[in-house]
A and B are shown apart, each in its own frame.
Chain A
Amino acid sequence: MTEQKHIVIIGGGPAGLQAASGLKDSGHQITIIEKESTIGGKLNSWHKLFPEFQTANDISVYLINSINNSNTEVLKQTIVTKITRENNHFKISTAQNHSLKADAILLATGFELFRAEKKEEYGYGIYKNIITSADLESSFRQNGLKDLLLGKTHPRIGFIHCVGSRDKKCGNTYCSKVCCVTGVKQAIEIKQLIPHSQVFNFYMDLRMYGQNFEELYIEAQQDYSINFIRGRVSEIAENIDGTLQIKAEDTLSGRPLKMNFDLVILLAGMENRQDYDNIMDNNIKLSRSNGFIVPINRHVRPNETTIPGIFIAGTCREPLSIQETIADAKSAASTITEWINKQSN
């Protein structure tokens, strides 16, 4: 029987919660540090999850319940300011004057959405009727779509894929993986809310990589008459009445097009712009690639960083769906347990 160790999980989103749940029977002391006032992370702002429209809230309730009767300590509204390594453990200081001694740290800090203002051609933050997929999802959750469309009966709505992803000019060459299926999902949701709307999705490639994703795409075309145009939007202009004019090329027919829309939704990608260097000691340096934290070995050691004792789970290491995040957190939990057992022997 190994002595009780202290595992600190930074981030109380789905990855952090699932990891805590996976570790609760290990006998070790678990602490979750969460900077917001609630746990659940981005799940709290989502309405329905792809591909089967599960309610996000159900998942977060499940995850939160799974740690409820355990001795997991949850520190909300707490921000980590310093992590130093001392001998064989870590010392964590917070802005709320905590000083924690951790034997292992799990980074589950999640992702930030690409700030769509950086893609100036699309006019996010400049024109009125342009929102991101996150804005839309919030709107779904709060039932606010009506505010966005101001009572139009036959609105025309456009989705633009790959905003801030696969774009050297925005600084992100990688594909953010989950935005395409999000675009299809949200297009369907809009059609469900406003059956008389016309929905167009402008894409470069449609990455329907997971189980039932392609079927969702078929459903979108078949049951909801959603239009898919293969062409990356180059720029958007605002008309006097607030509608937006999109310029794209319909590459499959080889012709440039201009179209007016009442609402445009930008499928912004995931980024990890956390400044870990500012918090971590000089002798603790994470390996990053495109901002995401790089594990020692993507195939067989995906949850271990180059720093022994610091582990990663969730979207802080690469764009993942909720399903994948939860699976990744389970993997991280068992990795941590294994590692602690090895240390003790």
Chain B
Amino acid sequence: MIRHFDPFVLPFIVGFTFLLTALAVLYSRWFIQLEAGSHPKILSAFFSLKTLNAIKEVFLECLIHRKIFKINPMLGYMHMSLAFGWFLLILFGKLETFIYTGRFANAIYYPIFFRFFELNPHQSALLNFFNISMDLLLLFVLSGVCLAIIKRFKSRVTGLKQTTKHTAGDRWALSTLWLIFPLRLLSESLTAAFSGNGSIITQPLGDFLGSFLPAQQLAYISWWGYSVCLGGFMAALPFSRYMHIPTEIFLIFLRNWGIFTNKKYSGVSNFELHACSRCGICIDVCPVNNESGRRTTQMVYFLRDLREKKLKHSITENCMMCGRCEQVCPVAIPLTTQRQIQRDKSMQKPFSDFSYLERISYNANEPKTEVLYFAGCMSHLTPGIRQSMIKILEASGIKYSFLDEKGPICCGRPLKLSGKTEEAQILSEKNRTLIMASGAHTLVTSCPICYKSFKEDYHLNIKILHHTEFIDQLLVKKQIAIQRSDEKIAYHDPCELGRGSAIYNQPRQIIRRVGQLVKHPDERENARCCGGSLANLSVTTSERNEIQQSVSSYLSSQPCDIIATACPMCKKSIGRFAEKPVKDIAELVASGLDESFMNEKAIKNQKYNELIFE
């Protein structure tokens, strides 16, 4: 039996039912489309700590928005007040009605329109407490709504230089969302005017309004408005950014259970795409945006286009794949992976002819070596790095061989980043054969791009090191020694080495032995992208120059004597415009090699051929 009913609740019911149905259909479809092996994974993880972890993460990220707080407190407060505030309103509302009616199972709309149906419910201290709480929570949410409105016009208030451009669906949902809470306030206040069931905010406001307005009639209209906006919002939700509200919860659970997009687009990818709230934090950090003021290529727009099936190739390929966006995404969507998948998809059949590589082979007369050094294509254009590495290898006494001394066969990663995976595989197969033929048990490279390629795509069973890892090991094991100077050195983390391979410490450890390490704001995971990335196939030369110039002047303005980096591409990009000398870590080490230490060692170990590596 329906105890309380009024026609005005119908819009809400319609909207709500529509939303539930839509979500049920979409989620079950995506769930079914999960990759093979996912379902057993979920079953086994369901009753484990992972689920508890997921619940914790849902609380911290979906309600409190801890990640967003770290980026900007105002922005974090805005998101939190809306999400957490609304959640608490629902929760407290449910408790309020339970206490009042003694039943859990009331009509779904009853707690929402409680003060319409119950004109005098607050007859105990406990219920009074709830009355006050509901008012305060409403104020909490309204403060968020105010901030959200201000943010639309003055985004700098929340620390964002640009806000997201909205789709039509977004605008419908946004408008209804923004009206919901003011209308609730209005409805409850007007009702309080003639019933007295308001509290700390609604009562005084109601009394004030009631003094010159026909409260009872207006209240009814307001409740209709409230219901229509609620229903309208829920109906618009699946077509808007607010799809993220339910979706990100599911995403967090899936991720904690070990299910996420890796190499192929699957059911979980749909969850990821729709978990994007279009918060816009990825816009400001994008290097392609900051200088040219572009607002069509950032991840938020890429995901939007992908969702609406309007994705153009020119957008997909206009990305440095630097990972800065992924670093700040509050919902931790694997953004670069998604972009790469789309690049792979949009590539046509292989259009290459690398048969000329077939006649290249490792010189069979060369003795087997211990360490193989691969400079990489770019390092040949920065001979400072190459010569320094040779000097260091010679000083270490290790038996080494320089694979691409005469000239490189490209590692293949630029092809792969363009989506041409099959063609890249031809190159990597060739290089792989040469590497294995050398007999080396360690491969050292100067280029982080090649490094990532070797580690991820080559399936080599030998040790792979970037030269910073290698040099660090040499220093720790005292196979070489450096003389320290007083120079102040600021380090720029290359995207492929830092965010791409999680190597942050070794370069810094080396720098501290060479001179004084100078810290600066945009480093480690927050490091800027030098703009030289080969992954961006669309950017024009002048746009690239702007990016390079901006990073160069940022680094030049740090209180340092030298700018250090660990990637030939970064060295070229930054060195072109920087006002201070730009040196690779290998160059700093080579020029600071302690000669006396070398001579001592040479005397001690005449035939120093052994490798002291684990």
The short answer to whether A and B are in direct contact, CB under 8 Å, is yes
Using a CB–CB cutoff of 8 Å, the interface residues on chain A facing chain B are 118, 120-121, 123, 126-127, 169, 171, 235-238
B380 touches A235 (CB 8 A): yes
A171 nearest in chain B by CB position:
B576
Cβ of B515 within 8 Å of any chain A Cβ, yes or no, is no
A170 nearest in chain B by CB position:
B576
Could you tell me how many residues of chain B have their Cβ less than 8 Å away from some Cβ of chain A?
10
Using a CB–CB cutoff of 8 Å, the interface residues on chain B facing chain A are 380-384, 387, 572, 575-577
Within the complex, which residue of B380, B383, B575 is in contact with A126, where a contact is CB–CB below 8 Å?
Answer: B383
SS class of chain B's interface: helix, strand, loop or mixed? helix
A237 nearest in chain B by CB position:
B383
A126 touches B576 (CB 8 A): no
Q: For residue A237, which residues in chain B have a CB less than 8 angstroms away from its CB?
A: 380, 383
Within the complex, which residue of A169, A171, A236 is in contact with B383, where a contact is CB–CB below 8 Å?
Answer: A236
Question: Taking the nearest CB of chain A, how far is it from the CB of B565, in angstroms?
Answer: 13
A120 touches B575 (CB 8 A): yes
Q: How far is the CA of A311 from the CA of B124 in the complex (A)?
A: 93
Q: How far is the CA of A237 from the CA of B577 in the complex (A)?
A: 25
B384 touches A126 (CB 8 A): yes
Q: For residue B387, which residues in chain A have a CB less than 8 angstroms away from its CB?
A: 123, 126-127, 238
Question: Taking the nearest CB of chain A, how far is it from the CB of B582, in angstroms?
Answer: 10
Question: Taking the nearest CB of chain A, how far is it from the CB of B389, in angstroms?
Answer: 12
Q: How far is the CA of A118 from the CA of B575 in the complex (A)?
A: 8
Q: For residue B572, which residues in chain A have a CB less than 8 angstroms away from its CB?
A: 120
Q: How far is the CA of A212 from the CA of B78 in the complex (A)?
A: 77
B380 touches A120 (CB 8 A): no
Within the complex, which residue of A127, A171, A235, A238 is in contact with B381, where a contact is CB–CB below 8 Å?
Answer: A235
Could you jot down 19 A-B contacts, CB within 8 Å? A118-B575, A120-B381, A120-B572, A120-B575, A121-B382, A121-B383, A123-B384, A123-B387, A126-B383, A126-B384, A126-B387, A169-B576, A171-B576, A171-B577, A235-B381, A236-B383, A237-B380, A238-B383, A238-B387
Q: For residue B381, which residues in chain A have a CB less than 8 angstroms away from its CB?
A: 120-121, 235
Q: How far is the CA of A123 from the CA of B380 in the complex (A)?
A: 11
B576 touches A120 (CB 8 A): no
Q: How far is the CA of A236 from the CA of B383 in the complex (A)?
A: 8
Q: For residue A171, which residues in chain B have a CB less than 8 angstroms away from its CB?
A: 576-577
Question: Taking the nearest CB of chain B, how far is it from the CB of A258, in angstroms?
Answer: 9
Q: For residue A126, which residues in chain B have a CB less than 8 angstroms away from its CB?
A: 383-384, 387
Question: Among the interface residues A169, A171, A237, A238, which one has the most CB atoms of the partner chain B within 10 A?
Answer: A237
Question: Taking the nearest CB of chain B, how far is it from the CB of A164, in angstroms?
Answer: 13
B576 nearest in chain A by CB position:
A169
Question: Taking the nearest CB of chain B, how far is it from the CB of A126, in angstroms?
Answer: 5
Q: For residue A169, which residues in chain B have a CB less than 8 angstroms away from its CB?
A: 576
Q: For residue B380, which residues in chain A have a CB less than 8 angstroms away from its CB?
A: 235, 237
Known: A118-B575, A121-B382. 12 other contacts (CB 8 A): A120-B383, A120-B384, A121-B381, A121-B383, A123-B387, A126-B384, A127-B387, A171-B577, A235-B380, A236-B383, A238-B383, A238-B387
Q: How far is the CA of A123 from the CA of B383 in the complex (A)?
A: 6
Q: How far is the CA of A29 from the CA of B381 in the complex (A)?
A: 54
Q: How far is the CA of A255 from the CA of B237 in the complex (A)?
A: 63
Q: For residue B575, which residues in chain A have a CB less than 8 angstroms away from its CB?
A: 118, 120
Question: Taking the nearest CB of chain B, how far is it from the CB of A290, in angstroms?
Answer: 15
Q: How far is the CA of A118 from the CA of B576 in the complex (A)?
A: 8
Q: How far is the CA of A238 from the CA of B387 in the complex (A)?
A: 9
Question: Taking the nearest CB of chain A, how far is it from the CB of B59, in angstroms?
Answer: 52
Question: Taking the nearest CB of chain B, how far is it from the CB of A264, in angstroms?
Answer: 13
Q: For residue B577, which residues in chain A have a CB less than 8 angstroms away from its CB?
A: 171
Question: Taking the nearest CB of chain B, how far is it from the CB of A109, in angstroms?
Answer: 21
Q: For residue A120, which residues in chain B have a CB less than 8 angstroms away from its CB?
A: 381-384, 572, 575
Q: For residue A118, which residues in chain B have a CB less than 8 angstroms away from its CB?
A: 575
Q: How far is the CA of A181 from the CA of B380 in the complex (A)?
A: 30
B383 nearest in chain A by CB position:
A123
Q: How far is the CA of A237 from the CA of B572 in the complex (A)?
A: 17
Sort A-B residue pairs by CB-CB distance and give the 5 closest, nearest first.
Answer: A123-B383, A121-B381, A126-B387, A120-B382, A126-B384
Q: How far is the CA of A171 from the CA of B384 in the complex (A)?
A: 20
Question: Among the interface residues A120, A171, A236, which one has the most CB atoms of the partner chain B within 10 A?
Answer: A120
Question: Taking the nearest CB of chain B, how far is it from the CB of A170, in angstroms?
Answer: 8
Q: How far is the CA of A192 from the CA of B577 in the complex (A)?
A: 41
Q: How far is the CA of A121 from the CA of B576 in the complex (A)?
A: 13
Q: For residue A121, which residues in chain B have a CB less than 8 angstroms away from its CB?
A: 381-383
A234 nearest in chain B by CB position:
B381
Question: Taking the nearest CB of chain B, how far is it from the CB of A45, in angstroms?
Answer: 25
A125 nearest in chain B by CB position:
B384
